[in-house]
Amino acid sequence: MRIVLFSSLAMIAAFAQPPKFAVADVHVSKTAYWFAQGAHSPSIRDGIYIYRDATVLDLIRAAYEVPEDLVVGGPSWIKSDLYDVVAKIPEGATAANIPVMLQALLAERLGLDIRKELRPTKGYVLSVAKSGSKLKRAAPGEPGCKQELVGVGGRGDGKAAPAPIILAQLPNFKFTCRGLTSRQIADNLRQMAGGYTTYLDHEVKDETGLDGMWDFELEFTPPQVAPDKGRDAITIFDAVNKQLGLSLDLQDVQTQALVVRSVNRKPSPNPPAVDAALALAAPRFEVAAIKPLEQGQGQARPISAGFNYTGGSQMRVMGTLKGLIAQAFQIQPNAAGDVILGLPKFAETKMWEITAKLPSAGEGSPGAVGGRQAPPTLSVALEMLRALLVERFELKTHTENREVTVYALTVDGKPKLTKADPNERSDCRPDPNAPKPFPNLGVMVNCKNITMAEFARNLEQATGFFDHPIVDETGLEGGWSFYLGWSRQQAPRAPQPGQPAAADVDPSAYMTSYEAVQRQLGLKLVSRKRSIPVLVVDHVAEEPVE
């Protein structure tokens, strides 16, 4: 009887053990932070769980199935350092078991210690504005929202070559919504905002007190083009206030949160033979069509980052060979002239268009995010582009250190920076509500607890503003917080003879990126020669091979 009892207890203990991955590879990602874009979601391929370019915050969100707002505490780097997780799912496990297995993996390999506590967390509160609600009682009909593009801009007649893209002329977003409750309006605002998730970066809670169903129209300017539209731009905050009679306010909200008590920056070593157990085929496009672009076709300038995902299994990218190589090797286009050496003349002048088919299976195949089909993570797509250039343009390269022109970030007098709270998360993001120290500036960027080396790397991302790599020579240690903004457009030129002067325009009110760094931060960019790693092109074909 005792033997049976002990056997039963052993079986119960075995079943009580939370499921774990059979074997897992956890390592620091090789992807540059600014190229960690794309679907940004884990995938399952042939029984293998894959999450590329994930921050610790991303991994916690996936493991505990909570929004970012409900994860508080932890070291500053949990939102910036990137990791790759590749793990084998044991037989018999289901998709529902994966979050629990990921929790166990984070505790084991990163020493994650996390607890639930009632905490004040940041969130947007949707309430009725002082002017009163402008929503209309719902008319009979099917509930939902339809999107359209309104305003200047268009796609042409389909016959002539596409005209150069002028950001200030791109259309606004417009949503026509029918039969939504106030709770549904709050739940859907971030989704409707699309690119505004950079600004509308917290969950939205309904506190309007409005009962029933409502109809409304909402029009706003995409954030990427808002600075170029100037005074004609409509932010989503202004649109919600003026068009709906509602307010979106960032507040502290008491909620059950996950508090990160501790986590290790360096993962524990992988188990032996993990590479063999988790061998993945290198992602490759199934097929690709490469054709030259005549002058005037395509965009006004070569694409500088990323692909266009056209839906299904197709991706499209355009650019010179120089631009394509820069993307494939994760080099910022404004630094490509300094760190890609040995290119022949044709690589900088002739434009190409590549239309590629994603693989139907394995890493690189389309995934699903929020129920919608999505492209692979950008770093995986760039790996496929790199292999394509090697195969079709016979690209051969090597890396070495060379002395090139860089911008050294130095201190100019007394820095105008605030020493950061070491417990605050490192982050740099646009803040549309930040005060502007000078008129005609674009959206201000709010940087929190970042080192000067990180700031130099962030500045280098400002394609079109800085034409050389940027290195930190400030000597300032630790994390710093500050705001920074400059004019997205150049100061207007003086009118030609016989033309009227532009009204209300003061050329002195415009500020270049170099002036902004100096005047707003007390720092300075100085052109110097430095020895840094570069990519040397040993060979590239002028025409693609079949």
**CA–CA distance, 317 with 266 (Å, rounded to integer):** 36
Other beta carbons within 10 Å of 526: 11
- Per the CB < 8 A criterion, the answer to whether 335 and 459 are in contact is no
pTM of the complete model beyond 0.85: no
DSSP string of 49-116, one letter each residue: EEEEEE-HHHHHHHHHT--GGGEEES-GGGGT--EEEEEEPPTT--GGGHHHHHHHHHHHHH--EEEE
Q: Which residues contact 218 (CB under 8 A, 6 or more apart)?
A: 174, 175, 177, 192, 239, 240, 243, 244
Record the tokens describing residue 87, joined without a space: 């793990």
**CA–CA distance, 520 with 485 (Å, rounded to integer):** 8
Q: Could you say which DSSP state residue 504 is in?
A: T
**CA–CA distance, 178 with 291 (Å, rounded to integer):** 45
Other beta carbons within 10 Å of 456: 22
Residue holding tokens 């359209």? 148
- Per the CB < 8 A criterion, the answer to whether 247 and 239 are in contact is no
Confidence (pLDDT) at 530: 94
Residue 509 exposed, middle or buried by CB count within 10 Å (0-12, 13-18, 19+): middle
Confidence (pLDDT) at 368: 67
Confidence (pLDDT) at 422: 84
Task: Give which of 321, 309, 342 is closest to 393, Cα–Cα.
Answer: 321
Confidence (pLDDT) at 341: 96
Distance from the Cα of residue 97 to its chain's centroid = 28
Other beta carbons within 10 Å of 402: 15
Tens of pLDDT, residue by residue, the chain (546 residues):
444 454 544 444 444 577 899 999 999 999 987 787 654 678 888 899 999 999 999 999 999 998 887 898 899 899 889 999 999 999 989 888 999 999 999 999 999 999 999 888 778 899 999 999 999 999 988 888 887 766 644 433 334 444 444 556 778 888 899 999 999 998 888 777 755 555 677 778 899 999 999 999 999 887 767 766 777 888 889 999 999 999 999 888 778 889 999 999 999 999 888 988 898 889 999 999 999 987 554 443 333 345 777 777 889 999 999 999 999 999 988 889 999 999 999 999 999 999 999 998 888 888 766 555 778 888 999 999 999 999 999 999 999 999 999 999 999 999 999 999 888 888 888 887 788 888 778 778 999 999 999 999 888 877 668 889 999 999 999 999 999 998 865 544 444 455 444 444 455 567 889 999 999 999 999 999 999 999 999 999 999 998
User: Alpha-carbon Rg of the chain, whole angstroms?
Assistant: 26
